[in-house]
Amino acid sequence: AQSVTQPDIHITVSEGASLELRCNYSYGATPYLFWYVQSPGQGLQLLLKYFSGDTLVQGIKGFEAEFKRSQSSFNLRKPSVHWSDAAEYFCAVDQGGNTGKLIFGQGTTLQVKP
């Protein structure tokens, strides 16, 4: 069965520092992969997505993610974190190509120190 693992439940970084959030997936074929951000009490906003092609994907708010098939990973990165980036981040994979049914990881809560 497909699954998504986000190994880090909480991460704290200083403002201006670089960020990497880890995501590992289990899926047989080429997956459809997503990163979402959820601010407290809010819904989910799509940061970026990967379907095929270039394995380095650019998203909104200065985020990027790299698909590595050999490592079954899709890690999210940002070179310089802003205080407003503090939120919960979810990695997700479509259950079967592009079915519309997403499987989410447990989420990583990002705290930003001034």
Partner 1 sequence: NAGVMQNPRHLVRRRGQEARLRCSPMKGHSHVYWYRQLPEEGLKFMVYLQKENIIDESGMPKERFSAEFPKEGPSILRIQQVVRGDSAAYFCASSPVPGTDTQYFGPGTRLTVL
Residues 36, 63, 67, 74: which binds partner 1 (CB under 8 A)?
A: 36
Residues 43, 53, 70, 114: which binds partner 1 (CB under 8 A)?
A: 43
Q: Does 100 bind partner 1 (CB under 8 A)?
A: yes
Nearest to 89 by CA among 107, 62, 65: 107
Contact by Cβ (8 Å): 108, 21 = yes
Residues 11, 49, 62, 64: which binds partner 1 (CB under 8 A)?
A: 49
Residues 14, 29, 54, 98: which binds partner 1 (CB under 8 A)?
A: 98
Contact by Cβ (8 Å): 48, 59 = yes
For 32, the token pair is 């459809």
The kind and range of the H/E element at 77 are strand 73-78
Binding-site ranges for partner 1 (CB under 8 A)? 4, 32, 34, 36, 41-46, 49, 51, 90, 92, 94-95, 98-107
